Amino acid sequence: MLSLPADLALKLTAAVDAMPAFPRSVQKILELTRDVNCTPKHLVQVIEQDPVVTVKILKAVNSAYFALTKKITSIDHAVVYLGFNTIKNLALSIAAIGMLPTRNAADFDSAQYLLHSLSTASIARRLAQNVDRADATDCFIAGLLHDFGKVVFAQFMPREFKQALQECQADGSSLHLALQRTIGVDHTVVGAMLAEKWRFAPELVDAIASQYDPSEHCTPTMACVFAANQVSKKMEFGFAGNPYVHPLTEAVGSFLGAKTLDDVIASLPDLDALFAEVKILASA
């Protein structure tokens, strides 16, 4: 952690400790989908042990978006029809949604926040498919969780967070700078602390912590998440309280083979279809 005043460090630690644990069943799903020896049977067994995840996956699978001709009533059929990756992403989305508060004193719009996070995750995954050494799953997870520190602030420091939201809306500046003024630290720090608590890989923690400064020691994951975050904001796929769209840095552009954010957007076909899928994930 950065060198912080002792009282602020204690306050952040207490807030992170008060957040719920990442569901064990979803952690296990992630482990299985990384295992080349995993079979559909193993994945089905893990999902079926969590009734909440099971019901929500079946609800999403049977939504109009997938337009299946026959209703799916079991997880094993869902895996067959939609594949490992779609089921895994649904499970991750369900876990993230389950940890969002329905109300908060900061008036932070959690529904719009979720759309932004899911669209960032989906765009990062798509970018990773054309970036050398980028792991598409890691990019999806880092994109999904990159702003989770805002959820912590909305719940445990709502007055300061609300003030920062209002300040950046008033002048169009970046939210992370307003948070540094009102709280003393921005959401990337507390988001990285939370990811460490949930025992995600250091690469993911670094991508969350470095999302505003990916130039130094930039990695493929950092590059994909940074660019995806800016594309999501520019296309207004949801809104997580930050109106400022950062330009592409030279380091990020070198990974993506692009000079500007418009170059990145031009390399992404059919973003409308991507956002339609995001809405399905958000409704799970």
Is 4 domain-assigned?
Answer: no
User: Model-level pTM?
Assistant: 0.87
The answer to whether residues 57 and 109 belong to one domain is: no
For residues 73 and 133, membership in a common domain is answered with: no
The verdict on 91 and 178 lying in the same domain is no
Give me the number of domains the chain comprises. 2
Q: Are residues 83 and 210 in the same domain?
A: no
Query: Could you tell me if 91 and 106 lie in one domain?
Result: no
Q: Which domain holds residue 73?
A: 19-99
* CATH code of 224's domain: 1.10.3210.10
Using a 10 angstrom Cβ sphere, with 0-12 exposed, 13-18 middle and 19 or more buried, the burial of residue 217 is exposed
Give CA 173 to chain center in angstroms.
22
Q: Which pLDDT tens digits describe the chain residue by residue (284 residues)?
A: 567 889 999 999 999 999 988 788 888 887 887 787 888 888 888 888 888 888 888 888 887 777 778 899 999 898 888 887 788 878 888 887 778 887 889 999 999 999 999 999 999 999 999 999 998 888 988 999 999 999 999 999 999 999 999 999 999 999 999 999 999 999 999 999 999 988 888 888 999 999 987 777 899 999 999 999 999 999 999 999 999 999 999 999 999 999 999 999 999 989 999 998 898 888 77
* Strand ranges, E, within 44-171: none
In a domain, 202, yes or no: yes
Domain assignment present for residue 3? The answer is: no
| Domain C-terminal end among 39, 64, 99 | 99
Do 159 and 185 belong to one domain?
A: yes
